[in-house]
Structure 1
Amino acid sequence: MNVEQARFNMIEQQIRPWDVLDQGVLSLLTLLKREDFVPAAHKALAFMDTEIPLGHGQFMLAPRVEARLLQELKVTRHEKVLEIGTGSGYMAALLGHKAQSVISLESQPELAKQAAENLKRAGVLNVKVLAQDGSQGLPAEAPFDVILLSGSVAEVPRALLEQLKPGGRLAAVVGSEPVMRAMLYTRVGNEFKTQVLFDTVVPRLAGFAEASAFSF
């Protein structure tokens, strides 16, 4: 496989047609080697339009979903970011290139260790990976400018939204199969403005409650 051609095709055939037009994001996808974050057994899938199994029931998101979420969050160099669901560390690395600092939470210790090694090897030094449940965020380090849930949840816990600074943004894929939507929440005072970004279906994040079947 010609790796650079495969990377080019991924960007031009999957990512750009999905309305990812931010040149900073596209340049970063060329610079940061996605294949270095893919488990050896699945290297052939590195540039394909699919989720990649990481073990422990976790997956890397499809490239176009990662790229679109990164674009919509509009992370800037002075910002502090929390990611929930480190997985391979690739999304944390993308965020690290954009932000001042990133803390990424991974509930599976083996994945957390591997992600930290991947990030170190890639020279991404402003990302800290913590092996812990992320469903309640990280109140001790709050508030954050940006929070990203790298997987789907039935609903976003209020406790996470409240860890945003004023003007802060949280992105998550919300809902249950077959209907899920990527959502952007922006804090305005003590309220949260919501925006639907796109429809997609992605694997569940571990540790988050399913929505109640009853509403009162």
Structure 2
Amino acid sequence: MPAASDTPPDAAAAGTPPTARPPGRLRLAMGLLPALLGAAVGEPSAAADGAAPYAAARQRMVDQQLIADWRGISNPEVLRAMATVPRHEFVPPEIRQSAYEDRPLPIGHGQTISQPYIVAFMTEQLAPQASDRVLEIGTGSGYQAAILAGLVREVYSIEIVEALAKRAAGDLTRLGYGNVRVRHGDGYQGWPEAAPFDSIIVTCAPDHVPQPLVDQLREGGRMVIPVGDFGDQSLFLLRKKDGRLERERILPVRFVPMTGTAESRRR
């Protein structure tokens, strides 16, 4: 989970997209949006939402923050998930009116729910498939897991802060996300008994890629992970090929450091 600060800690520098998007793909995403907004992600969370003001705010979030020219999220399934999952259900009641703003929000215990764009961008980089089994390191509010739940077969999510793990598990159950499993534990170690995973998403930053996560990623799988010190981090897309990792630096970011084993092994 990204850390709270006076400026959006997990935003791209100056909001600049990491890669250019072909105009044709962007027009396709925009053309599909009305249909996507009317479609369910396959989870009952939309019914649990119910409030028209939140639905309107969520549509504005997708229109203005995700598919705008300068952001260019274009995966139709990711856009559908972002347009459906009730983000306001994953933030404290006293700040729900800010749930769809273009910034991270505090969720307690020194943690935040990530900026919507970062959630969408990291999800898109995973290239999720309906048959995938995904490991998430850093459950936080549970919102990222909810987004993934409508896109893949199973989500396994680990949170090192016990209170957050319990709250997220309760909220995901309440909202009907039955294909998400939440565990309180050290994300550095992964979830070995459930491996291998088709993809892994990490929302806290170690200063190196944890080997247990590499071992638990299937051949051909993808991992999205921030790596570096708090003041100098980059988001990487890793692809596993022939047992080795191909690395692509895709975005400057700032997430809280990974704690637990990763903290004790910081180089």
- Structure 1 counterpart of 2:118: 65
Aligned residues: 212
Q: In structure 2, do the counterparts of structure 1 residues 60 and 206 end up closer, same or farther at CA, with 3 Å as the change threshold?
A: farther
| Misfit runs of 4+, over 3 Å | none
- Structure 2 counterpart of 1:5: 56
Which residues of 2 match residues 32-51 of structure 1 at below 5 A?
32-51=85-104
TM-score (norm 1): 0.91
Aligned mates of 1:20, 1:69 — CA distance in 2 = 10
Q: Within the alignment, does 1:108 sit opposite 2:147 as a pair?
A: no
Q: In structure 2, do the counterparts of structure 1 residues 63 and 205 end up closer, same or farther at CA, with 3 Å as the change threshold?
A: farther
Q: Would you tell me which structure has more helix in proportion to its own residues?
A: 2
Deviations 1:156-209 (A, max 9, x none): 112211111100111111122433211111110111111122222233333223
Secondary structure of 1:13's counterpart equals helix
Secondary structure of 1:111's counterpart equals helix
Secondary structure of 1:105's counterpart equals strand
1:150 to 194, 203, 206: 203
TM-score (norm 2): 0.75
Deviations 1:117-139 (A, max 9, x none): 11112211000101111111122
Aligned mates of 2:64, 2:258 — CA distance in 1 = 28
| 1:89 CA drift (Å) | 0.7
Bigger CA radius of gyration: 2
Secondary structure of 2:67's counterpart equals helix
Structure 2: 5+ residue runs without aligned partners? 1-51
Identity of aligned residues (%): 33
Q: Which amino acid aligns with 2:61?
A: M
Structure 1: 5+ residue runs without aligned partners? none
Q: Which amino acid aligns with 2:109?
A: H
Aligned mates of 1:4, 1:205 — CA distance in 2 = 34
Q: Which amino acid aligns with 2:132?
A: E
Secondary structure of 1:29's counterpart equals helix
Q: Within the alignment, does 1:136 sit opposite 2:189 as a pair?
A: yes
Judge conservation of contact 1:85–1:150 (CA < 8 Å) in 2.
yes
